[in-house]
Amino acid sequence: MSNRTLAIIKPDAVRNNKIGEIIAKITGAGFKIKAIKMIKMSKTSAQGFYEVHKERPFYAELVEFMTSGPCVPIALEKENAVADYRMLIGATDPAEANDGTIRKLYAASKAENAVHGSDSDENAALEISHFFSRNELLQNAC
């Protein structure tokens, strides 16, 4: 699984009609899309996905934001996927993100920051399975 990562185009970027531009950035950087869907996360799903942050002061706000509208989870594949995708999206706070990164281009704030990216191979595997069944991933094997 070490060549995979989970991206999410978050509700702010979907509202701003940036799905296409963000996907073009991702595929332009050499990532292959293994599975993709557009969903509105339930509160339970968002709470589970961000369980690691449940003690953080912004947890409730984060769950509220992630359930505020549709989002687009994407399972991506590329050599060194986790690190390369984190580099492509930039720092959590767009004010600190490098020029040309997705968050620098499309994020408004540290909270509403356009995209998610897994932070380790282990979490990538867990996060991909949060959104995609084995079958959904296998159907896209080519």
Is 53 part of the annotated catalytic residue set? Answer: no
Cβ distance to ligand GDP smaller for residue 101 or 113:
113
Backbone angles phi, psi at 24, to 5 degrees: -60, -40
Contact 39, 73 (CB under 8 A): yes
Cβ distance to ligand GDP smaller for residue 23 or 111:
111
Catalytic hit among 4, 10, 34, 116: 116
Give me the least distance between CB of 142 and ligand GDP, in Å please.
Answer: 29
Q: Give the Cα separation of 122 and 91 in Å (integer).
A: 20
From the list 130, 114, 107, 113, the residue with the least C-alpha distance to 52 is 130
Residues at the site binding ligand GDP, with contacts judged by CB under 6 A: 58, 61-62, 92, 110-111, 113, 116, 119
Residues recognised as catalytic: 116
